[in-house]
Amino acid sequence: MVTGQASLKRNGVQDYVTTRATALIMTAFSLFMGWYFIATPDITYAVWNELFSGLAMKVFTFITLVSIMFHIRIGMWQVLTDYVKAPGLRAFIQFIINLTASVYVVVGLFVLWGV
């Protein structure tokens, strides 16, 4: 049976793999940015703007933002199911959180588009 990452219906294995896969991408991005801030002596607007103008950096940033969205969806769901018992309230909070996570991605897309 071929289910799991390719399936549209969520399951525990898929959540498990997605959390870790996205975590690796976000960790790589964080380490890269950490290194960038340490290695770049004087960060001006020109230098900062140029960093995000390259295609590779746009792709890296966008994939990281998508990873953040998936990681938020799973992680916040795990926390919410433990602490918020009322189904209606949980669904509402989940909706707001998932919407916010989508906004992070869309804002990122348009910002990267304009750089």
Partner 1 sequence: MKKQRPVNLQLNTISFPPAAITSILHRITGVALFFAMMFVIWAWAMSVSSPEGFALVQEQMAGPLGKFVAIGTISALTYHVLGGVRHMIMDMGYWEELESGDISAKAIIAAWIILTILVGVVLW
Residues found near partner 1 in the complex (CB under 8 A): 20, 23, 27, 30, 44-45, 48-49, 52, 68, 72, 75-76, 79, 97, 100-101, 104, 107-108, 111, 114-115
Q: Which is nearer to partner 1, 8 or 42 (CB)?
A: 42
Q: What would the DSSP string read from start to end of the chain? A: ---STT-SS--HHHHHHHHHHHHHHHHHHHHHHHHHHHH-S---HHHHHHHTTSHHHHHHHHHHHHHHHHHHHHHHHHHHHHH---HHHHHHHHHHHHHHHHHHHHHHHHHHHH-
Shortest CB 111 distance to partner 1, Å: 5
- For partner 1, the closer CB: 91 or 103: 103
